[in-house]
Each structure stands twice: as structure tokens, then as C-alpha cells.
Amino acid sequence: MVKSMLEANSLPNPVTVPLSNRSYEIRFYQNITDIANDVKAHAAEDVVVISNSVVWDLYGKSLETSLESAGLTIATWLMGDGEKFKSVETASLAWDFLVERKFSRKTCIVAFGGGVVGDLAGFVAATYLRGVPFIQIPTTVVAMVDSSVGGKTGVDHPLGKNLIGAFYQPKLVAMSMSLLATLDKHNLQGGFAEVIKYGIIYDADFFSWLEKNLERAMALEPDAIAHVVRRSCEIKADVVGQDEQESGLRAILNYGHTFGHAIEALGEYKETQFHGQAVAIGMVCAADMAVVLGLMPDADRDRIEALVARAGLPRHLEADMNVEAVYDRMFSDKKVSAGKVHFVLPTRIGHVELKGDVTKESVLEVLRGRRLK
């Protein structure tokens, strides 16, 4: 387990996701028990907490007790732990639970877990009775800095990741970094792939800060991890506020994901290679692609690879992964348009562009160069 020092005396100020009448706040709390009153403000009747047994065994009783103390009626539904449970089959089981117990449109669904729980619970909330309120309480780095913010909900399909889903915004994202104290090393490292992404796509100063402070942040030193989470949320909120449904700017958030989703799917969502690890490989591949196409200098690519390596993240495909299969799998991605795969490629640290004119030969060259010998 990661040792933490989360006794910070001050908390980051709330971050607003500006979406007109769908705007909401990302709020920060010292402890999970501090969240209850804000949950109650958005829950007119019952609360259904969707979580998994790993998270629930660690923190469920504390959350349940605090919510009940605030006068809320709580029901709990636990799903399996892992990407393979982010499926239509799991969503159907959750719908069964809600229907059988006759929960109404005033029921508030609370997603209490990492990215898989949040995506699944949000999709269930978006579709049950054509939409009920929901709140995100993320428990992992990747959920805090990325998946809990922005309203992307959904499930995976055998032919591709996140192909079934909806844009559906939460009423509140409630973060307590004390929940990271029990996060295992693999999940911690995977979450930092998304953190590094924000520096590459949007904020060169943040990337430079990470170069100086990465180890402190990954050790969960209070000021460092608070800055990482808040700055990541600020960047995502800014992008989502300008482009909620990915018609333009929001596509930059997919940096590393075109390669990464294909790698993750071909790896069959193995527990040894989580989403963040696949995205890390994808980010380095995209940086390689930018160099091959003459868009970015070698020095910036080297900085990206060095920071990814310092985070303990992989930078290479497994030796037995078929690069042609990776390329083919990219065409199942949501980012395919008019028969072309669109890549988010950096031109310098802090700025990326969307490219749809990348040849198959260039893609395969990059993949072969990143495959372990």
C-alpha cells in the first residue's frame, strides 16, 4: 500500500464545471464523512450507492453512517471490481436492482469508486427512468483527475472501449484525498498517466512542475497531491466547459487514448495492464508519431518519455502484441471519422493538434519501434 501524508490543514477551493444550467462544482473534503451534507443537498429522497466490494470494505461503513446521520435513506449495490465488469450485463443487473425496489426519478445515485464504478454508475443514472440525479465520489487518482469530471458515462463493448454510453453530468463531484491512502501502487501509477497528459496537451508550466515534483505528488504529500488533483480538474473543467460533447476542443483529452484503447482492448483489459498503463504507452507512441511527422522536436518527446518512466509507467508494447492488430483495432474507436483514425499529436509540450491524415505505414513504424524485442 502507498504510505500517505494527507494531514493537510487547508483544502483546495472548489472548481466549477461551467455548463449553463448543468454547471456543477468539484468540491474537496478532508474526510469522507464531511461529504454527507452536500450529498443531502442534491438527494430529494433515497440514495443508491453503487460501489464495489474492495472500496466498500475499506470505506463503505464510514460513508453509510455519515449519510444516514444526515437523514438520508441508503441502499447499496455492489458490482465486480475491474474493467471487465464495465459492461451492459453489469448495467442490466443494476437496472434490475433499481426497478425491483421501485426507486423513483427523485432517487440520487452515488458513484463511489474508481473510473469503472463511476462510468457504470453514471450510465445507469443516465438511463434509469430516462435520467436520475447522480453524484461522483471518486476513490482513485484516475477518477479524481479525469473520469469523474465531464459527464462521460458508459460501458465497454467487445469491439471497443466506451462505445456504449451517454453524456450525462453529475450534480456534484466530491473529493476526499484521504481515500488515496489505501490505493495500490499499480492504480496510483496508472492515474498519473492522465495527470501527465494534462501538462502535455494544455499546460507546459504544469508539465514543468511535474518534472520537479512528481515523486512528492506520487508519495501523496498533501500540498503536492492537492495541486495535482485541483490543476487537473481545472484543465478538464475548462475544456469541457468549452466543448461538452466533444465536437472540437474536447478531443484533445484523448491524447494517448487512440493507441491506448487499442492496446488495452487487445490485452483483454488484463488486471496487470490497467487503462492508465495503456494510455501511458499510447502517449509515448503519439509523441513518437509527432517526431516522425516532423511536428515536434526530439527533445520534447524525450521529456515526455522521461516523465512517463519516472512515474513507473510502461513505454513499450509487449513483444507478442501484433502491431497490425493494434492498427486494425483503432478503427473501432469513437475517434474514427470518414474512415480515418484521428490522432491527437503534440507540436510542443503544452499544445496538441488533431491529425487525420496519418498513413498506416507511419502508424506501424511507430508501433514496431515501441514493441519490446
Active site residues: 130, 152, 194, 236, 246, 250, 254, 257, 261, 275
Residues sharing a CB contact under 8 Å with residue 324, sequence separation 6 or more, in sequence order: 364
